[in-house]
Amino acid sequence: MRVNDIVSGTILLLLGAAVAAHALGFPAAHGQTIGPGVFPGSIGLGLVLAGALLMRSGWRQTPRAPAVEWDEGLRQPRFAANGALVIGTVIFYALAVERVGFFPSAFVMLAVLFLAFGVSRRWIAPLAAAVTFGLHFAFYSLLSVPLPWGWLERFAW
């Protein structure tokens, strides 16, 4: 599938504008000239600029190209099923993570995706566990983002 750069640029520009507009509503930090909205606002403006440049590039290269061109391979049912599976596992994670916890939710999500995408069965569990622990370390320890413990609350460190 190929999406025209004009369409991609428009989506990127609108996303950046929404992020920048939302960042304007962040409260000012007391006693500081740089508040919490500066970083997301800068990211939003960068996305607006990147979207505008992508639109311009697309207009120069192929102004009359179709918005989306479908490849033959994407019409195969397996690819559609895999796409639906990715969306389904993300929805599962979003619904389960608070109650079940990060470790079981992320492990199940990754294991299902690894199985669907053809990872060798003997590597699925170790890989899903390693990626889950790596993500937990990155978010919980390095970035200080608390992740829900859920069923494993009594084992929290």
Write out pLDDT tens, residues 43-69: 999 999 999 999 998 888 776 777 777
Closest CA to 140 of 106, 102, 114: 102
The span from the CA of 104 to the CA of 132, in Å, is 9
pLDDT at 74: 64
The span from the CA of 79 to the CA of 9, in Å, is 25
Average pLDDT over the chain, rounded to whole? 88
In this prediction the pTM is 0.59
3-class secondary structure, 69? strand
Please report, for the chain, the start and end positions of each structural domain, with discontinuous segments joined by +: 2-69, 73-155
* Number of other residues whose CB lies within 10 A of the CB of residue 103: 21
Which residue has 């909205």 as its token pair? 37
Q: pLDDT band at 100, cuts 50/70/90?
A: very high
Residue 33 clears pLDDT 80, i.e. is over it: no
